[in-house]
Structure 1
Amino acid sequence: MKKLIIIILAATAMFSCKKDNIVAVTKADPGAPAVTTPAANTAIIITETNGAEKLSVRWKKADYGVSTVLNYTLQAAIAGSNFSQRITLGNTSADSASVTYTDINNGLLNTLNAPANETSAIQIRIAASISGKDTVYSEPVTLSVTTFKITAPDRLYVPGAYQEWKPENAVFIRQAEGFTYEGYVYMKIGDYYKFTSAPDWVHINYGDSGTPGKLTEDGNASGLKVDQPGYYKFNVNTQELTYSAARIESFGLIGTATAGAWDNSTPMTYNESEGVWTVTANLTAGALKFRANNGWDINYGPADINALTGTLIQTNDAINITEAGSYTVTLDFSQETDKQYRYTVVKN
């Protein structure tokens, strides 16, 4: 009897071991998933306001010949790249995924280097796998995607009470770099003004946020204000929504070529009708620069030290005056034709 029990237990143990070692065998050639939605050539136009909208992607599941949990990855690439560079837009074990327009836009612009604010042909596909192995891919589906990126205009207009609030006739300040702007504006009265991204009231206009030095894009906000008439240097950052306004009481000549050397500026006069600063002064051989308000916070030198006519930049260099004599010096900060400040030094 004891022998019979032992034989039965041994047989049971052998059967249990065999059962534990049963392994599911997948197909040698698994059936790939197939995208069913969206349809080929679907057009997606991404804008500033629709980033929360979603692209819904559905597919027929892959067939590995066994019943198991599959992993699906939604991939995208520029059409024609054969997915050599791709982005992942989602991972799931289901047969569908949704991705926001913002995520699509960011992936195309930042990883795939798609052109901003232009239409590109992209392809999406589904990668199926079991625990990251035996991956099979769906046939790619081509979509048309127009990306969106906020771009800074090359100038800001400065309409205000000083010119009867007409942006189409307003003076503008030029883009310095990215979303930063700099320029000079003469305001014949101390009053309210705004910055606009175009010469109209249809596009963005920047007003007073209620916090000093900060702007708002709320078009119904009140204007900014200068308390005195005069010539102002504006610096604006439309991304950070900041600005500054520095009143220029005078520009002057400074340097060893001037009577005040490096200590005192020779003042210039603003010509309102021509929009330039000018002075006629006796100069000696030596260095010549320009500064505002008899101080060094705002000062300029030449791009070329040997040029008597040229571009003003912020530099430690000075114009090299080689001959003593009477000179008429003119500074033009209008930036009418480009974003350069200009000077002329003419011997009389």
Structure 2
Amino acid sequence: MKKYINKLFLLGTVLFLGASCESEGQLTTLKTVTFPAAIEVSSSTIVLTEDTADNNALLISWPKVTFPIDAPVTYAIQFDLINDTSGANAWQKAKRIEVGQDVLSKAFIGSELNKIATDLGLPIDAAGKLVVRVEAAMDRKIYSDPITLTVTPYEKSVVFGEIYMPGFYQGEFNVGTAAALTAIAKGVYQGYVTLSPGNGTDFKLNTARNWDQYYGAGDTNADLKNMSEPNFHLPGVGSYQIKVNLNTLKWSSAPYAWGIVGSSTHAPTPEDKDYGWNHSIPMSYNHETKTWKVTANLIVGALKFRLNDKWDVNYGPADATTNTINKDNGGAYDIAEAGTYEITFTINDVDPASAGYPATATCTIVKK
């Protein structure tokens, strides 16, 4: 009888605890979470070409996933080959692209999708199959049903060559020492320039370090016209990334500057105790040495590098005893003595839009 009573007591305790947890909604992992509908793609058959590498090639969208906890949901997209999406190692070789919190769509330009396809091993100039699914993460990760895409990737041309940008940023037009814009695709060139106060904004684009052939402004400032006398002009003082497309006879500029950031760059203020971490000091680009440089008064503290006064792309040292700095590394250099420092930053960012930023860059920090 005693044994029977003990069993009843144990059963009652289990039922009570189960009811209590259910009523208070604490055991969220016991509740099923799913995608409420299928994900959608703008096209399931995509033929990629180098000529359309900068165009939107694929848009993936998905419904909001609701977890029992009221908090942001982080979404990511996974691409993989069909044969690698089943078995014990399913999706282990997938290309994963984090999209962000509570974002419900992601667009890929042609060069981005082409890199994903070729990295996964799809054959060049032949239709192949990719599988795509969306990951939603909070207290756990769940996945949408996959969708199969037919993708034809291209082989990116090995391109060489430069064009040149004589202009007032030099003080006077000098094609012999002008900034070089390097080929990043067939007929597409990219480079960097810093326009200092007191210099004009005008420039030309030359196909060689001479004046045998050059481009000036066409119908608008963004249009290239062969042997045109009107100059192009930049928006004003600052550093820029310049892109020139001789296929479309267009050019563009975008604000672009590496900078130093950290507690060594500025003392705390009453309004912002982390002022040095929240405000970069921009560096200027030396187009002849292809190096970013700044001379700054530093205080005792930490120092690292970031792009465009944001944390999206930043570099810190994995080993602060070296001049090598690593992308997205949390480390920083220790400025042990206040004073005036000359700081340089050198990076081989050949084509960040399609290839991403390199894993490492180099720097120098010299007290004057």
Indicate the TM-score class for this superposition, using the shorter chain for normalisation: 0.3 to 0.5
TM-score by length of 2: 0.39
TM-score by length of 1: 0.41
- Structure with greater helix percent: 2
